Amino acid sequence: MAKPGDIIVGLDIGTTKTLAVVGEVGADGVDITGVGEARSKGLRKGVVVNIESTVTSIKEAVERAGNMAGVEIATVYAGIAGSHVRGVNSHGIVSIANHEVSSDDVERVLDQARRISMPLDRQVIHVLPQDYIVDQQDGVREPVGMSGVRLEARVHLVTAAVASVQNVTKCAERCGLHVAELVLEPLASAEAVLTEDEKEIGVAMVDIGGGTTDVVVYVDGALVHTAVIPLGGMNLTNDIATGLRTPVGEAERIKLRHGCALQSMVDPGDSIEVPGVGGRGARTIARQYLASIAEPRMDELFRLVAKIIHDSGYAELLGAGVVLAGGATLLEGTPELAEQVLGMPIRRGIPMGVGGMVEMVKSPAYATAVGLLKYGATRPAKAEKAAAVGRQLLQPQVPAAVQAAAMDPSNPKLGTKFWEWLREVF
């Protein structure tokens, strides 16, 4: 576990924007001390397609967050998403050494569960335990210390394309950052916006980003299903740009300021001004016409979500309904339309469980970045290692030759060597 005073950084590299959130671990949790945002230009549908542009976005976001927090960022927990991500349930069985379950036995059974057949261009990024079975006694959450001869584990494996994983890591490293761990973005979002009660009762979280929509399902406190839809907020922006014959940038602004996912919620008398393309003059249109473009796209998206939930086999177990996250859910009328299509209780997910500058991240758009922060702070051992690496990278290392010279008071070149080293470092 991270220790009080440790600095944790969550890096959300999205299709439309890159977010960096800095937090300091305190006695009562994580306090947010810095937030940085930059426009993303090097990703498409959550996947890196331009290294240089992505590196530029990461540098801007990290620099802004670091300046606000007053720290130099060296280590991050980075998110990964995209249609290449797959989720599958698996099962492992091992014998229990000494007839009492130890932490080594748990590690062995999880390692056994992750050994599935998959192509060489894919790798496992998460092994998420659902429950354990000790001698046919199922539903065990923490098996260490229990007596038995056979230990089984049911897990949810998350796999990703090797190339995509390497590209995200490469972009961060080219910014001088150490990636402590790559985290599935909807898993991080769930960490920020879902309560433990919701996970126990059964809940689906739908994270609508710029390029993709991620769906995760929790039942009995465990992740049981993950899926990705290659549609997001940018699809709606492009629809608006085409339908209103306006530049994409203006379409995004109009969507955020005047958009509505339900025509029935718009006053028939409302109108908006739409800038033209290529020097053409602005036009005035009814706001309901804008809603007539947004509603079919959002309706299509939620029907795809409904199919995923139905096909997962867990639809009847979602007592807590659906929680919406991601910047695209800020569109007016989105929860109401989702409730109509899905037929379940709906709420917008706001990041919770953090202190400090909470007002700056009080939006579904920050769910992933805050979730990465919380994920990093609760990771056993890895958080301490990440914080240690961060501290180490912030301190210039004195060369052995300079140290040796400094220990020798009779060395006439002591001052020269010291100043040479100072110039090299600074």
Q: What is the pTM of this model?
A: 0.85
As averages over each run of 10 residues, the pLDDT of the chain (426 residues) reads 83 92 89 94 86 94 94 94 92 92 94 92 94 92 93 95 94 94 95 95 95 94 94 93 92 93 93 87 91 95 97 95 94 95 95 92 94 87 42 43 49 52 51
Q: Which two tokens stand for residue 256?
A: 């955020």
Pairing type for strands 150-161 and 122-134 reads antiparallel
**Residues β-bridged to residue 21:** 10, 35
Cα of 340 vs its chain's centroid, Å = 27
Q: Which two tokens stand for residue 290?
A: 């804008």
Place of tokens 């890096």: 11
User: Looking at residue 53, what DSSP letter applies?
Assistant: H
Task: Give the pLDDT score at 162.
Answer: 94
CA dihedral angle for residue 291, residue 292, residue 295, residue 296, rounded to 10 degrees:
-160
Task: Give the pLDDT score at 416.
Answer: 55
Task: Give the pLDDT score at 41.
Answer: 85
What architecture is domain 199-349? 2-Layer Sandwich (3.30)
d(CA 295, CA 286): 15
Task: Give the pLDDT score at 42.
Answer: 85
Distances (CA, A) of 98 to 104, 109, 147, 148, 403: 12, 15, 9, 9, 51
CB 28 within 8 A of CB 151: no
- 22 backbone φψ class: left, alpha, beta (φ>0; ψ -120 to 50): beta
State the CB neighbour count (10 A cutoff) for residue 106: 18
- 87-160: CATH number: 3.30.1490.110
Task: Give the pLDDT score at 78.
Answer: 95
Task: Give the pLDDT score at 161.
Answer: 93
Q: Where are the domains of the chain?
A: 87-160, 199-349, 400-425
Q: Which two tokens stand for residue 222?
A: 């465990």
